[in-house]
A and B are shown apart, each in its own frame.
Chain A
Amino acid sequence: MNRRNILIFLLCVMLGFGIIIQGKAAHGEMLYVSAKAITDYKTTIDSEKMEIEKTKNLIEESKRELVLYQDSNTDNTDLLVSNIEKEKNLYEMFSGAMDLKGPGVIITIDDGVRPLFEGEDINNILVHDADILIIINDLKKNGAEAISVNGERLVETSSVICSGYTVEINGVRYARPFTIQAIGDGNRMTSSLIGPEGYGTSLKNWGVLFEIELSDEIFIPAYTRERIYKYTEKVKEIGVL
């Protein structure tokens, strides 16, 4: 009995030493790394994973389409036509080439009217292009499906640029007040803008006029100008990216 106890004791000692030695030796080289570098690594990995997920969604979509095409191999012209039509409509809506309606929000921003403090810069209470940009960005972040500023539909190439006393959008000049309309989840967009950290709240604190209201039916016109690609061309070879 005694001998057994001693044996087990010895084993325990060995095990303990083993762990310590292994733990020390296996650490290998140590590097000085900032927390930022590690989070950047993690973010990049998350980002790639998200990309894979998105690609897989697209693959599912394509598979569905392909099955649809191949099922009715005899005469699939009607099916093909209706599918192309459907897709064309979707991309027409997405690219801003179609008039849209739906529920959403109407935002009005205008220069402030409060008296200035002594020596205060008037710019503090004026609306700038950056304000409009940030509001638009916030709307997009909260799921806006279509946005217009003073009735001008925003598309993927639209810029909002301050030039003197006017703001230029899609090459057309607009002056204050600015009305931004967005179709989407009105409650979500509103709460983001007028929450305690919201940009609308901060504009109000500066003294800029900011109003937001929900609407059941918003009309957003199509972008009707011609789009010419002078430099861009479709990638033809497969698998270059």
Chain B
Amino acid sequence: MKKNGAVIVVGLLALFIGLILSIQISTNAGSDQGGLVPLAKLKGYEVELNKVKEEKAVALQQLIDLEKRITDIESEKAKEDTFVSGMVSDLEKYRMFSGVVDVQGPGILITINDPVADKYQEDYSIITNNFDLLLGLVNRLKEAGAEAISINEQRVSNTTEISLAGSNININGTPTAPPYFIKVIGNPQTLDGAINLRGGIIYIMKAKYNLVVDTEIKDKILIGRYNDVIKFKYAEPIPEAKN
């Protein structure tokens, strides 16, 4: 009887191990090189993405609350003191110039995606490997008077780079993947006209690179702030010699 008990325990353990192994296999099966991939694995990515998105929303809300408390203290003081009030409005002005403020206004939304792939091309992202197209597009938009630009929620600031890092594009040091959503605030007609012309940058993207590009005019576009911590390691201000 005692012997049998031990066997039953071993049996249960074996069953347990078998179950765990099979679950492991089912979520890890299918290589990352693509091909036939179990739905469970894809679902896993989706779940993880949603999770980090939620986490981000929580962090953003916390930041907004904290910043509100700080501005409350500052504006309270500004009410009593005209000197402080001048400084606070100066600070606001330079924060705006720096792009560290959430902004809104009329503008356009440009969507760029890789062409619907045939079997041999699908592992190669055209837009990623021709990131200078994005660079050129942003340059055209600035020329057309864009007041604020973001690419996949990365605010284009004074130091923003668009660079190829391995198999993806880094913007503000953050990896991004297609499709690309470019939000622009400015005169919608001018912006749209400056990029959508025959032989213009979007024409080239479509005709030469087969990219799927769509431009939409919007009455109101929200663009988030530049969210890197700003630090100067090399540059220092020159003592003002004015007056």
User: Do these two chains really belong together in a complex?
Assistant: yes
B177 with A44: CB separation less than 8 A: yes
- Select which of B38, B103, B143 is within 8 A of A232 by beta carbon: B103
B87 with A145: CB separation less than 8 A: no
B99 with A156: CB separation less than 8 A: yes
Chain A residues with CB under 8 A of B143:
159, 161, 168
Chain B residues with CB under 8 A of A154:
158
Chain B residues with CB under 8 A of A7:
7
Chain B residues with CB under 8 A of A66:
66, 69-70, 73
8 Å CB contacts to B: which residues of A153-199? 154-161, 168, 183-185
8 Å CB contacts to B: which residues of A31-53? 31-52
Q: A55-B63, A159-B143 are in contact. Are A93 and B235 (CB under 8 A)?
A: yes
Count class of interface residues, chain B? 35 or more
Q: A90-B230, A92-B94 are in contact. Are A158 and B142 (CB under 8 A)?
A: yes
B234 with A15: CB separation less than 8 A: no
Pair count A-B, CB < 8 A: 339
Contact with A along B212-224 (1 / 0, CB 8 A): 0000000000101
Stretch at the interface among A19-27, A107-115, A201-209: A19-27
8 Å CB contacts to B: which residues of A81-96? 81, 84-85, 87-96
B interface residue numbers (CB < 8 A to A):
3, 7, 10-11, 14-15, 17-19, 21-23, 25-26, 29-30, 32-40, 42, 45-46, 48-49, 52-53, 55-56, 59-70, 73-74, 77, 81, 83-84, 87-88, 90-91, 94-107, 114, 117, 122-125, 132, 135-136, 139-140, 142-143, 146-148, 152-153, 156-163, 167-168, 170, 173-178, 185-187, 222, 224, 227-230, 232-238, 240
Known: A59-B63, A144-B159, A145-B233. 16 other contacts (CB 8 A): A14-B11, A14-B14, A32-B37, A36-B125, A51-B227, A58-B63, A58-B227, A77-B81, A84-B91, A97-B97, A185-B233, A231-B105, A231-B147, A238-B64, A241-B60, A241-B222
